[in-house]
Structure 1
Amino acid sequence: MAILERSSAVLSLSDPRATKTELSGGKGANLAKLVSAGLPVPDGFCVTTAVYEKLADDEEISAMIDDLEATDPTDTEILREQAAALREITRAKELPEDVQASIEAQLEPGESYVARSSATAEDLPTASFAGQHSTVLDVSSLEDVTDAVLECMASLFTDRAVSYRARNEIPHDEVSMCVVVQEMIDADASGVLFTADPLTGKRTVASIDASTGLGEAVVSGTVTAENVRVDRESGDVLEYRAGVSDDAEADPVGANEPAVDIENGDVPDAEEDRVLTDEQVTTLVAYGEGIERSFDSPQDIEWSIADGQFWRLQTRPITTLSPLPEPRLVDDALYVYYSWNHRQGMTEVMPPLVVDYWSRTMDVLFDRFGADPETGLSSATAGGMVYIDVTPLLQSDRLAPYFLEGLNDFDRQAIAPLAEIRERRGDEFAQTSVLRGTSLPKTLLTLGTVVPVVGRTLGSILSGLVGRSYEDVPRRARQWADATAEEMIREVRSGDSEAERLRIALEKNDEFSWEAMEMALKLWNVYFYRAALRRLCPDADDEFEALERGLRENVTTAMMM
């Protein structure tokens, strides 16, 4: 591990260098950014990763981390033993004297502090590590603070943190630890604000968990906090749910009452019986929107309020939200997307180039049929996956039955959830249409091309019923694919520059997309045969599946789908 400059060992949260994750970890860097934005954050400082790396620059610790990295992630018993040994040896270390002196210079006599761990792989958009590392409350003396710092650094190797890194394929030897030490707020109330609803994923609804006292009880789940859901666009409270403490002696007002649904006209408990007033809810949501804009993503924000002053204790991205589709939607209506990836058996995230390829290919086909991507069928991408916007099909009473029935032949599992969401939330669908915005000349031109292909397809169906031409289909299809690929390669190589070769590749791919559709129509005879057989033998689904899986050169069977 590289050792950072000693001058970076202890940094105030107001120091611009503290905004660097490699020095301050995820939590510390985010807090420093809040400070630089002028938001109220308790005064504090970072004992940076330079200090941890100095402690870990030890042959014994390095060897133990290497052993941890080499251990099978499924061997949990060995992992626990190794992690416990690493925690013990880290706690037993002593901070260098100059580091202790720097810490002492930051401490105010008589002030209480809280020490929070801040790992470099923490509070990231793809991995939050929430609750995996230690927090030490109410420390004041230099000795107590330094012990708390070592405890937080040792928590880099808690059982949960080690398992979490293993699950997310984060190498143990590439993670470092900073400790954030802040003045402890004697809070009247604390909690968590989600700037997007973590349960529904709705970005226009904020969700607040609030409880009296310190926020650690809310974060750790030792109390059931008061929950308020707020429409961010109108500012209206959508739902209020009273909280309850695990303390048997606690008897909060309204704790045993059901959730109050403001949308249905119910009236919540009197404001004085709630943790937060309406004005405080509005203020907190407004703060959250500003933080979300600063970080350019929905945030999970821990907060406290003392003597009427809101304090931001930390902020992290909400990692549980599904990514928004691109292109971004311009309204708040409900859209339904069908995963092209999963239909093709490609369940892993694809590289950007592959995503762009499939998205462009589908849009070319939709365009050839005259569809308007603004109002009709179109593709979308989200989280490295490609989807088809099937909202125009589902919201149409005429087309939806045909669409769902068509899925019966190649994606039966998708029918039930699509039908269920149409039944339950059909009135929320975006008002789109397959025909709205369709270019009639394009459609007619395309149909003029498709009709002969359909005719040849019907001819091949009839010939297949009376002959054995189907046996030669795999060979002919492979010959066509090989010849097409060779031609495309020759054409692309003929370009004089990279830009010219790229232009040719895109043009040839657009041509290939349509030719592949024509070829697919010829190969889709199987759906006609299957439908006919099912009508003749309605109780033989198992036999048909065994027959299909027994066909030679069946790609679907080879992919174990």
Structure 2
Amino acid sequence: MATSNNIPFVVNLDEEHATHLDIVGGKGANLAILFQRGFNIPHAFVITTNAFQYVLNNEETKNILSIIDNIDIDNIKELEDVSYKIKQTISNINLSNDLINLIINHYNKLCEKSNNINIDVAVRSSATAEDLPDNSFAGQHDTYLHVKRDNLIDKIKECWASLFTAQAISYRKKSNIDHKIVKLAVVIQEMISSEVSGVAFTANPITGLRNEVIIDSTYGLGEALVSGLVTPDHYEIFIDKYENIEIRVKNIGEKSIHIIGKSDGGTETLITDDNNKKIEALSDKYIIELAKLAKQIEKSYNYQPQDLEWSFNNEKLYILQARPITTLFPIPKNAHGQSDLRCLGSFGAVQGFLEPMTPLGESTIRTLLSCFLRILHINRITSVEDDISSNPLRHHICKSASNRLWIDITGVLTSPLVRFFPIARIDTGMG
């Protein structure tokens, strides 16, 4: 019973199935991709969506999805009552001995890799509709830290049940995501006893600048930070196209509490010593190491900006999670790696046309602009083409992003003829 429909119930991160979103969910797929690309990821395995589906086909649970279809999400009491009943049903279901033994066998192999006969693990939900470029389910499904062997199966069932919280059901309904196509895998990951941990954004999520890495750090586990329980240290790091790095902003947070693992499982919250509150959790050396690694990870995702969770233990850096940043407006093609600021004007907005352009419309406008450049006899130095390689000596004034056409007006604004409006005065914080 290790497989169903030729899809395994459990996979390791180095296996082919481990990168398939429909089998291991968003979190599991991202971890497997990073692991297979050689980044330092804690040892882990994934209980696949096929195991989840196998459990849902049980007599006790097979009617769950039909119940959800009839819920009125605006009726809070009904939503919470149905959610509670479903979660209780899944949490109390009896798994087959074959499935339990399969999971425990993989856990034992995880212990062997870690040279520890009874390691703590993180049990993380990994849904097929989370950690995607167009949706963010962050925080909706459960994660359990410092889980012991004896509690492993119970925590896995609780992760499955978290797919049916009132919040998750309501979010899917409002986002028009069919409950029947969303499945849940569970990542079982070696627990790193973090000395310092936090998050890193490979682009500035506020301004949208792609040449900045934003790092927040705190003592202990990152749970205190991502749950908003602590004011972390905050760093803004500038990286130019030559990969020169400069730490431009340092704000030392109070870090009033920190969370650590307990010897008998689970976590506990401690008050941070007054002296440590005033000390940076990360040295400059580790800030730069983390910023460089963050940009390497972004590059491996074809420059898709990433939201990373990380941890330092014994001077070793681990990546715990990676997900796309979903709030940034796309930048034009061939703009990655440019460290100089550019000012782009929306061609459509000037015309009062705010909707995305069709490919035919964009091609027509480029053709008209090209004719205009020839009339002005500047077509040899200026181009409307996106592909810089077609003629790298030309100034490419037309950019395409999010199916909209943009005109690069940086040269105009920085020209000596318009010194009264230098580009340096533009507030880049406006995004």
Answer yes or no: is 1:245 the counterpart of 2:255.
Answer: yes
The counterpart of 2:331, out of the listed 324, 349, 363, is: 324
User: Does the alignment pair 1:170 with 2:177?
Assistant: yes
Separation (CA, whole Å) in 2 of partners of 1:220 and 1:96:
35
Q: Is the 8 Å Cα contact of residues 7 and 50 (structure 2) preserved in structure 1?
A: no
2:384 maps to 1:383: no
TM-score by length of 1: 0.62
Q: 1:333 and 2:331 equivalent?
A: no
Aligned equivalents of 1:361 and 1:252: distance in 2? 65
Q: Which among 118, 132, 143 is matched to residue 126 of structure 2?
A: 118
Q: Letter of the 2:296 partner, please give it.
A: G
In 1: Cα distance, 2:177 partner to 2:288 partner: 39
Moved more, 389-398 or 99-108: 389-398
Identify unmatched segments of 5+ residues in structure 2.
112-116, 258-269, 385-393
Asked if 1:99 is matched to 2:106, the reply is no
Partner of 1:360: 363
CA distance in 2, matches of 1:134, 1:331: 39
Is 1:280–2:281 an aligned residue pair?
no
Higher strand share: 2
CA contact (8 A) 1:27 1:316 kept: yes
Distance in 1 between residues matched to 2:45 and 2:396, nearest whole Å: 53
Summarize the Cα distance change of 1:116–1:396 in structure 2 as closer, same or farther, 3 Å threshold.
Answer: same
Matched letter for residue 399 of structure 2: A
SS in structure 2 of the partner of residue 124 of structure 1:
coil
The unaligned stretches of length 5 or more in structure 1 are 257-272, 402-418, 429-561
Measure how far apart 1:373 and its partner are: 3.6
Does the 8 A contact of 2:130 with 2:137 survive in 1?
A: yes
Residue identity matched to 1:96: S
Q: Which amino acid aligns with 2:142?
A: S
Shift of 1:97: 1.5
Name the CA distance, whole Å, in 2 between partners of 1:31 and 1:427: 33
Is residue 195–residue 298 contact of structure 1 (8 Å, CA) maintained in 2? Answer: yes
Amino acid at match of 1:129: F
User: Structure 1 residues 250 and 426 mapped into 2: Cα distance closer, same or farther (>3 Å)?
Assistant: closer
For 1:337 and 1:162, the matched residues in 2 are separated by 40
Q: How do 1:117-136 and structure 2 match up within 5 A? A: 117-136=125-144
Q: Partners in 2 of 1:232 and 1:331 — Cα distance?
A: 8
Distance 1:160 1:397, change over 3 A: farther
Question: Structure 1 residue 239: deviation in Å?
Answer: 0.6
Letter in 1 for 2:161: A
Distance in 2, matches of 1:54 and 1:216, equals 31
282, 288, 291: which one pairs with 2:297?
Answer: 291
Of 4-13 and 244-253, the range deviating more from structure 2: 244-253
**Cα distance in 1 between the residues matched to 2:67 and 2:75:** 13
* Contact kept in structure 1, 2:144 and 2:155, CA below 8 Å: yes
Q: Helix, strand or coil for the counterpart of 2:207?
A: coil
Cα separation, partners in 2 of 1:43 and 1:203, compared to 1, 3 Å: same
Equivalent position SS for 2:245 = coil
In structure 2, relative to structure 1, the CA distance for the partners of 1:343 and 1:96 (3 Å cut) is farther
Structure 2 contact 207–428 (Cα < 8 Å) conserved: no
The structure with more helix, counted as a fraction of residues: 1
The CA RMSD over aligned residues, in Å, is: 3.2
1:313 to partner: Cα distance: 0.7
Structure 1 contact 377–390 (Cα < 8 Å) conserved? no
The answer (yes or no) to whether the contact 2:230–2:254 under 8 Å persists in 1 is yes
The percent identity for this pair of structures is 32
CA distance in 1, matches of 2:403, 2:68: 31
Partner residue of 1:151?
A: 158
Partner Cα distance (1:244, 1:333) in 2: 34
**Counterpart of 2:298 in 1: which secondary structure?**
helix
Distance (whole Å) between structure 2 residues aligned to residue 73 and residue 345 of structure 1: 36
Matching residue of 1:236 = 246
Q: How does 1:42-61 map to 2 (within 5 A)?
A: 42-58=42-58, 61=61
One-letter code aligned to 2:369: F
Q: Which amino acid aligns with 2:189?
A: Q
Deviation at residue 198 of structure 1 after TM alignment: 1.4
Q: CA deviation at 1:367?
A: 2.1
With normalisation by structure 2, the TM-score equals 0.80
Q: Following TM superposition, by how much is the alpha carbon of 1:378 offset from its aligned partner in structure 2, in angstroms?
A: 4.8
Cα offset for 1:127? 1.4
Q: How does 1:531-542 map to 2 (within 5 A)?
A: none
Instruction: Report the equivalent of 1:87.
Output: 87
The Cα shift of 1:358 comes to 2.1
